[in-house]
Amino acid sequence: MSNNTIGFIGGGNMAQALIGGLLDSGAPAKQILVSDPNPEVQETLKQMGVRTLELADLASEADSVVLAVKPQLFDKVLPSLGELLSDQLVISIAAGVSTDRISQLLGGYTNLIRCMPNTPALVGEGACGLYAASGVTEQAKQQAQALFEASGVAIWVAKEDQLHAVTAVSGSAPAYFFMFVEHMVKAATELGLDPADAHKLAVQTALGSARMMSSSDKTPEELRNNVTSAGGTTHAAIQSMQQSGVGELIEQGMKACVDRSVEMANS
């Protein structure tokens, strides 16, 4: 990334998360550019040490351009951007906007990569899926991967429609875990624990469990079985959840997420 100047169109939370990851990984601040009309956002970015520019100036200096504006602004922003591009790599982090649609709005531009990131990138623990349009070079793919690995992990999908599954398993998924912990805290409070103590224990357990899965060569099922002694307290909890169909409900929720992602892409 040291020789690649990256321009962000839009400087909101996700852009700031990616920029923070780049800075933490040693990328020079002078090679990170942002175009955003909001004065407060501009001030935040300046405090991070990066340069804020007008769109035309950013397009002329950047080697890679990250589309970090909301999808509903694409119709307004992309046609103007398309007139300014030469051969820069364009990376979109917008959900539900296909590379075909982006290419159309950019006037037929094809050097495109799509990414489905998630909000834990804000704390350096993001997970994203990447898809490259045909013709994107291996070097460009490596640049994109380095960008997103600076704030988490990144995987590639071979087909663009697989990004719908990425949305279900990582893009929208932080909310699933927040909801699970939310109900753990509620139950613990009803069972007599102080709410702050319940929150502290539940969050730390989630963090520790995630680290165990990340560092182990065992599957989540194997790890679960290892701590579930027959007839014990954990077994009673897991058995109750299984009888209530918790696993099936999770799978149904993920399928609903995919359905909505497809619907948005086709609208």
Q: Is the domain of 114 the same as that of 67?
A: yes
The answer, as to whether pTM is greater than 0.85, is yes
Q: Per-residue b/e over 72-110, b at no fewer than 16 CB within 10 Å? A: eebeebbeebbebbeebbbbbbbbbbbbebbbebbeebe
pLDDT tens column, 106-128: 999 999 999 999 999 988 899 99
The answer to the question of residue 81 being in a domain is: yes
Q: Tell me the HSE value of 255 on the side-chain side, using a 13 A CA sphere.
A: 6
Cα distance between residue 117 and residue 130, in whole Å? 9
Residues 16, 34, 96: CA angle, nearest 5 degrees: 65
Q: What is the pLDDT of residues 161-211, one digit of tens each?
A: 999 999 999 999 999 999 999 999 999 999 999 999 999 999 999 999 999
**pLDDT of amino acid 187:** 98
- Is residue 167, in this structure, part of any structural domain at all? no
Detail the DSSP E strand segments found in the chain: 6-9, 32-35, 51-52, 64-67, 89-92, 112-116, 126-132, 152-156
Instruction: Indicate which CATH number applies to the domain containing 127.
Output: 3.40.50.720
| pLDDT, tens digit, 9 for 90 and up, residues 41-93 | 999 999 999 999 999 999 999 999 999 999 899 999 999 999 999 989 999 99
Tokens representing 85?
A: 């591009």
22, 129: one domain: yes
Same domain, 48 and 13: yes
Total Cβ atoms within 10 A of residue 48: 15
Residues 89 and 67 reside in one and the same domain: yes
- 33 and 103 co-located in one domain: yes
Give 174's contacts (C-beta < 8 A, 6+ positions apart).
Answer: 118, 119, 120
Domain that holds residue 210: 174-266
The answer to the question of residue 168 being in a domain is no
Is a pLDDT exceeding 80 seen at residue 1? no
Domain stop point among 139, 161, 183: 161
Residues 22 and 120 grouped into a single domain: yes
In a domain, 169, yes or no: no
Cα separations in angstroms, 121 against 127, 149, 156: 7, 10, 17
On whether both 29 and 119 belong to a single domain, the answer is: yes
Q: Is residue 100 part of a domain?
A: yes
Q: Residue 210 sits in a domain of what CATH number?
A: 1.10.3730.10
Nearest to 57 by CA among 37, 35, 42, 76: 35
Mean model confidence pLDDT for the chain? 94
- Band the pLDDT of 135: cuts 50, 70, 90: confident
In a domain, 231, yes or no: yes
Q: Is residue 1 part of a domain?
A: no
Whether residues 231 and 261 fall in one domain: yes
Give the amino acid at 201: L
Q: How many structural domains does the chain have?
A: 2
pLDDT (average), residues 202-226: 97
State which of 161, 187, 220 marks the end of a domain.
Answer: 161
How many whole angstroms separate alpha carbon 240 and alpha carbon 187? Answer: 14
